[in-house]
Amino acid sequence: MNADMNSGEPQFERIALIGIGLIGSSLAHVIRRRGLARHIAIATRSRATLDRARELNLGDSYHEAATEAARDADLVILCTPVGVYGTIAQDVAPVLKPGAIVSDVGSVKGSVVKQVQPHMRDGVHLVPAHPVAGTEYSGPDAGFATLFVNRWCIVTPPEGAEPGAVDAVVGFWKSCGSNVEIMTAEHHDLVLAITSHIPHLIAYNIVGTAADLESVTESEVIKFSAGGFRDFTRIAASDPTMWRDVFLHNKDAVLETLGRFSEDLSMLQRAIRWGDGDALFDLFTRTRAIRRSIIDIGQETATPNFGRDGEIVTKVDEASK
């Protein structure tokens, strides 16, 4: 997939993963499998999570302090919720070796530069990145080596970033199986607001609305969820801390995009109220084409119903044996 894979030489001597949730543990798997570093240093403040990472044999050394993992690392990747980046950057800055690269995997990018850059000394390179990949599961058990394969990773080098450091981060993600796109942090935050942040927000919101209705019981919502609701519950089961931080750290783009969403929804509401079937039909026709395109470029499966019927039927058949 990438020349680095077959060179026999790892890209980095030591990679430090600060935070070992879904993305951190997936990185640990792929770094190990593809030999991208000689040493994987793992840090997390949670003793239980660190113990679990050790049981899973995710790294080569395990640290409660981010500084201990980051010391002597060639590449430090922040894999924690975005809200604690500033604190971590401040902590690890003094121990970073000259030439070290600091990157991350956060779903917002403008805030990363704001939080981390002020702590970086000369000769240390900040190159933020965001692998657009994930599942609804979290924690060190959730990771798997193929999470990034054929997914996009967006790299957002700050102005004046060292080209060699940018190349190293781009090469790293290509070695993980990702396609890489470079853009500004500001544009990233706009793109992700519509493709990820607002979808999560309205998924969380409708699940909350459903739980709070008095006219329909929660057990009815659960029972009859196959009519569409259950599709939303997947992303509404994503990690709460991570998503709280995403919304707090991409406020402007989220509020702007949410305004557009609500405006469009008001138009649909009006069309329903006044019985304007043509307006509804026109929108419902347009939206089909977009799904087709997503399937065509390999970012989605064309299996009806995400293949769920097959799986559930199999389960039923098994149970009736």
Residue closest to 154 by CA, chosen among 186, 116, 122 = 186
Closest approach of Cβ 137 to a second copy, in Å? 5
Residue closest to 59 by CA, chosen among 30, 84, 101 = 30
Closest approach of Cβ 70 to a second copy, in Å? 26
Closest approach of Cβ 203 to a second copy, in Å? 7
Taking the least distance from each CB to a second copy, the nearer of 27 and 190 is 190
Please, where are the H alpha helices in 79-132? 85-92, 110-116
DSSP label of 2: -
10 Å CB burial of residue 40 (0-12, 13-18, 19+) is buried
Taking the least distance from each CB to a second copy, the nearer of 94 and 240 is 240
Taking the least distance from each CB to a second copy, the nearer of 87 and 281 is 281
Closest approach of Cβ 183 to a second copy, in Å? 9
In terms of phi and psi (left: phi > 0; alpha: psi -120 to 50; beta: otherwise), the region of 52 is alpha
CB-side neighbour CA atoms (13 Å) of 253: 23
Closest approach of Cβ 319 to a second copy, in Å? 9
Taking the least distance from each CB to a second copy, the nearer of 48 and 268 is 268
The 10 Å CB-count burial string (b at 16+, else e) for 165-204 is bbebbbbbbbbbbbebeeeebeebbbbbbbebbbebbbbb
Taking the least distance from each CB to a second copy, the nearer of 273 and 321 is 273
